[in-house]
Amino acid sequence: HLAMTTAKLGNRILLVDDLVDSGISLQEGIKWLYSHYGTEIEEIRTAVIWYKACSGIAPDYYVDYLPDNPWIHQPFEPYESMSPADLAQTYLVREV
């Protein structure tokens, strides 16, 4: 998803993601930006919350460096702690 704060993209871009693990998402995002806006871009910088050491790309900015490769429990993923039965209950259609 491309979100912008102005009508035009501009020539200096900050590409933001939640984490960099393998680095593929950031690399593909950069490649996509250059393929669609390459003539307009002077600089792309990257920012993430979590930067794993195993990543194939180093972000320009990050909040938390993770020297190993832990599973990250993100706050918007409540289903992570649900049992399969509880998860199934959330998708049952109830008759009114």
Q: Is the pLDDT of residue 2 over 80?
A: no
**Is 95 inside any structural domain?**
no
Assign residue 10 a region (left: φ > 0; alpha: ψ between -120 and 50; beta: otherwise): left
**30 lies in which domain range?**
9-67
SS3 state of residue 17: strand
CA distance 38 to 11: 9
pTM score, whole prediction: 0.72
**Is 83 inside any structural domain?**
no
**Is 90 inside any structural domain?**
no
The total number of structural domains that make up the chain: 1
Q: Is the pLDDT of residue 59 over 70?
A: yes
**Is 94 inside any structural domain?**
no
**Is 75 inside any structural domain?**
no
Average pLDDT of span 54-60: 93
Phi, psi of 79 (to 5 degrees): -65, -15
**Is 30 inside any structural domain?**
yes
Q: Is the pLDDT of residue 36 over 80?
A: yes
